[in-house]
Amino acid sequence: MAAAVLALTVQNSAAQDVAAGENSFKKCLPCHSIGEDAKNKVGPELNGIDGRHSGTAPGYAYSDANKNSGITWNEEQFLDYIKDPRAKIKGTKMIFPGIKNETEAKSLWAYLKQFDASGKKK
């Protein structure tokens, strides 16, 4: 019984993280999109970001710094990047003050990573 309650709590916690991440993504919407109808804007669309090499979203004109960063996006890389994008990738075009709150950043990653390369939720 205790295991079932714990499993349900973990599932609810994960759902809350995704919901919080979706809310946090509103900060990103002026420049980025995600989902089945996502298109490049001022910044690249973010579908399939988990496991994608930095600087490779089709049709987006990345800075050389981003294309040559050697980053493969995962939670660790994203959390380091989103705190201060310009510190992580010197010369990036991304102008964003960052998300310093780790809980918010993790929730944002939980939201982003659920989309595959076609924009469908996994």
Task: Note the pLDDT tens digit of each residue in 41-100.
Answer: 999 999 999 999 999 999 999 999 999 999 999 999 999 999 999 999 999 999 999 999
DSSP code per residue over 54-97: TT-STT----HHHHTS--B--HHHHHHHHH-HHHHSTT-S----
Of 14, 24, 13, residue with least CA distance to 105: 24
Residue 119 lies in a domain: no
The pTM score is 0.86
In this prediction, residue 3 carries a pLDDT of 47
Residue 55 lies in a domain: yes
User: For position 17, which CATH number holds?
Assistant: 1.10.760.10
- Whole domain around residue 82: which residue ranges? 2-112
Residue 65 lies in a domain: yes
Residue 121 lies in a domain: no
In a 3-state reduction of DSSP, which class is residue 115?
Answer: strand
**Residue-level length of the chain:** 122
Residue 94 lies in a domain: yes
In this prediction, residue 9 carries a pLDDT of 41
Contact 115, 27 (CB under 8 A): no
Q: Is residue 46 classed exposed, middle or buried when 0-12, 13-18 and 19+ CB atoms within 10 A define those classes? A: buried
Residue 56 lies in a domain: yes
Residue 24 lies in a domain: yes
* Two tokens, residue 74: 């995962």
In this prediction, residue 11 carries a pLDDT of 46
What is the distance of C-alpha 55 from the center of its chain? Answer: 14
The mean predicted confidence, pLDDT, of the chain is 90
Domain count across the chain: 1
